[in-house]
Amino acid sequence: MSEPTLFSTFQSVLASNGVIAHAAEIHGTLTGLICCGLSFESDDYIPMINDCYNNGESFPKPVQDTIKTLYSEIWQNILDDSFGFQMMLPDDDESIAERSHALSVWTQGFSLGFGLQHKVMPATSDDVKEVIADFAEIANLSDEVDDNEASEQAYFEIGEYVRISALLIFSELGAAPIDSSKPETLH
């Protein structure tokens, strides 16, 4: 298995190709689409991401390639039985303000992806409705964060809640890839 795409790598690809977007937000959008039922086999995410982040235009090839890689990585991680899914966020070396902002835009992106796909699958449980409401609140958190242990702890707890909640939504609404290796049963 190759190394996962890092936040800093994707943000650099975006910036070097003149794309004004946040890596965490795009990752969140892809995750929201997947968790709300976009199939593994679908490439509908490409025009959606183009529409949302590039005025409907195709991204430069290096950005397209990275987005396709991210889509595959998200699927691989979301299906991991050991709950290996991680949000694409800055490293712990970055300031708590930068990491909190990235978590906020990740939840904004997730909500966007969820909403784009949710119109296809409108029925949700009360748990999913509560998570989406919580994500809206997290997306609106202030970027003014004190650099102290309490902020670090809050960031960790909120981030873990968001990560596990994304997995919960996938378990309820997501569509596992079709296993084409199984022979069809004829009756």
Kindly tell me if the per-residue pLDDT of 48 is higher than 70: yes
121 or 17, higher pLDDT: 17
Average pLDDT, the chain: 89
pLDDT at 83: 78
pLDDT at 141: 83
Cα–Cα distance, 106 to 182 (Å, whole number): 36
Q: Tell me the C-alpha to C-alpha distance, in Å, between residue 81 and each of 85, 120, 171, 179.
A: 10, 27, 12, 17
For residue 125, the 8-state DSSP code is -
| Side chain identity at residue 82, one-letter code | S
Cα–Cα distance, 153 to 141 (Å, whole number): 15
pLDDT band of 119, cuts 50, 70, 90? confident
Work out the number of other CB atoms within 10 angstroms of the CB of residue 61. Answer: 9
pLDDT band of 120, cuts 50, 70, 90? low
Residue in the block written with tokens 């590039």: 54
Domains of the chain: 7-173 (1.20.120.740)
